[in-house]
Structure 1
Amino acid sequence: MSSAELPPPSPVRQLRLVVAADDYEAAVRFFRDVLGLPEQAAYSGDGDARVVILEAGRATLEIANPAQRRMIDDVEVGRQVAPQIRVAFEVDDTAATTERLVAAGATQVAPPTTTPWQSVNARLDAPAGLHITVFQELRTPDERAALDGFGTESA
């Protein structure tokens, strides 16, 4: 693709998911210290106001219609469990990450499962009321794009 064919850069520079955690210390320990999200910044203010911003690698916004949401739940869990918002983290080893997170207090909803789209996904309920997926990609984006049903909406 030549530079003349490249899409214009996005006007959005960062996706930041903001989560209010009743047990702030437990949530920070879980996501920073156990899952391993590096701390980018932390701020405090009057009345014990505190926030920590954790790096989570590349951010994407996945928008799924109700049929896709049901299909993902069926594949990963075998039943409908996901709330409207589910947070997914790509990791190097789904099984080892799941074990670490469960040992740190997460509740396993479904064990690591190989999906039809060639990733290994596990579901957990995590601190701060988050329903999460940890996933390990088994194929590169180019390999996946060659599979039936994969591509882009604009293609």
Structure 2
Amino acid sequence: MAAESPVRGVPPAPVVRQLRLVVEAADYEAAVAFFRDELGLPEEAAFSGEGDAQVVILDAGRATLEIANPAQKRMIDEVEVGRQVAPRIRVAFEVDDTAATTARLVAAGASEIAPPTRTPWQSLNSRLDAPAGLHITVFQELVTPDQGVATRDAESGRDGDN
């Protein structure tokens, strides 16, 4: 049963069940091998159709949509890379070991843009240019979400209870 809208006569907002990022890859096989086999995204489904049409759906775990204004995008590039490099869209993958994952992805053909770098928000991030023309971040959280809030609050002078 759908939730009722707080405003009478206005239908409730839709509930999004999944975020899918659809990427066209000229070298489909290389892109699938990189993201499925090297990065480790499990294959959820694959389909083919007329005219050699192919698609694979890879499970990337929990999805979020991060929307940043231009100043934030520039700041993240500066922290992670030291210069402006990211195109308008960058895909980020949380992993358990940034250094090992970065080394594996570079060996599989990615170009390292910046090595694993500790950020002020307490993650270890590397930047790569990957197959299918994607600019990616591989990141490892160095603290739990609760610890991260306490760290950011301490850096800003807040006591963490606000």
> What's the TM-score, normalizing by structure 1?
0.89
Q: Give the corresponding residue for 2:70.
A: 66
Q: For each residue in 1:45-97, what CA deviation from the matched residue of structure 2 results, as whole angstroms up to 9, or x when unmatched?
A: 00100000000000000111111101100000000001000000000000000
Matches within 5 A, 1:68-147: 68-146=72-150, 147=152
Counterpart of 1:140, as a letter, is T
In structure 2, C-alpha distance between the alignment counterparts of 1:108 and 1:55, rounded to whole Å: 24
User: Rg larger in 1 or in 2?
Assistant: 2
CA distance in 2, matches of 1:65, 1:105: 31
Q: Which ranges of structure 2 fall in alignment gaps of 5 or more residues?
A: 1-12, 157-161
Of 9, 17, 24, the match for 1:20: 24
Alpha-carbon deviations, 1:21-40, whole Å to 9, x = none?
00000000000000000000
RMSD: 1.7
Rounded to whole Å, the distance in 1 between the matches of 2:86 and 2:52 is 33
Identity %: 80
For residue 50 of structure 1, what is the aligned residue in structure 2?
54
TM-score by length of 2: 0.85
| Consecutive aligned runs of 4 or more in structure 1 exceeding 2 Å deviation | none
User: Per the alignment, in what secondary structure is the counterpart of residue 142 of structure 1?
Assistant: helix
Which deviates further from its counterpart, 13-22 or 136-145?
Answer: 136-145
2: CA distance, partners of 1:85 / 1:55: 19
Q: Distance in 2 between matches of 1:94 and 1:10?
A: 36
Q: Unaligned regions of 5+ residues in structure 1, if any?
A: 1-8, 150-154
